[in-house]
Amino acid sequence: MIRNKMLIPSIYPILDSSLVPFADLEKAAQAIMDGGIKIIQLRAKGLSSREFLESALIIRRTTKERNILFIVNDRVDIALLTDADGVHLGQDDLPVKEARRILGNDKIIGCSTHNLREALEAAKLPVNYISFGPIFPTKTKKDAQAPKGIKGLSEARKAVGIPIVAIGGITETNMIHALKQGADSVAMISEILTSADVSKKINKLISIAKDFQANE
C-alpha cells in the first residue's frame, strides 16, 4: 500500500450534494475539474443510492479521461461499482480494515479524524491519509464537532507520519495557516461551491498552494 505525500494533491475539493442539487452535480464537477484539480471527492449523503451511483458513474467517466483521482465518500459499494480510485470513510462508516479487504491494496482509503486520539488510531490502520478537523468553524456539516484550531492540527502533524488533509472552515485566506502547520492538503466544500466562478476559484487556490510550497 502506498503512503506517499505526493499522493494527495494540495487542494482537495469535495462536491457535496447538500450544496449542489442532484441535477447540477455533473456541471459542478466539470467546473471543478476545469480549474485544474487533481482529485475530487463526491459526498452525497442526501441522495438515494440510485442517484448517488448515477452521479458517481457520470463523474467517474470524466475523471478517468482527465487522469483525476476520484474518491467516493462513505460508500464502499459505490466506489467498487464505479471503479473509483478510492473511498473516504467516517468514524461510523464501514471499518477501514474491512474496506481495505474489499477494495484491495491498490485503492486509496482516507479516514476522518476529529481529535488526536482518533488520528493516532487511524494512522495504525491501512489508510493512505487521514482528514483532520474541523480546523475552523464550519456551517457545511451540521453535526461538526468543535473546531480544533491550528494548534490541534499541529499536534496531529507531530504525532502521525501519514498525509493529513485539513478540513473544516478552510478558505482562500486561511488555508496557508493549515499548510504551515504541516497539512499535506486542504479540503474545501463551501469555499469552492459557493464561489461565483468555481473554475477560477480552484485555479487561484492551486496557485496559492504552489507559491507556498515554492517558498518552503
Active site residues: 43, 112, 141
User: What residues contact residue 44 under an 8 Å CB cut-off, 6+ apart?
Assistant: 16, 17, 25, 51, 52, 55, 56, 73
CA distance 164 to 186: 9
38 HSE (CA, 13 A, CB side): 10
Which has the closest alpha carbon to 71: 147, 185, 195? 185
Backbone angles phi and psi of 12, in degrees to 5: -120, 90
Backbone angles phi and psi of 135, in degrees to 5: -80, -45
CA distance 118 to 156: 10
Q: Assess contact for 30 and 198: CB atoms under 8 A.
A: no
Q: Assess contact for 7 and 128: CB atoms under 8 A.
A: yes
Q: Which cell goes with 144? A: 461538526
Q: What is the DSSP letter of 23?
A: G
Q: What residue has cell string 471527492? A: 41
Which has the closest alpha carbon to 13: 188, 178, 165? 188
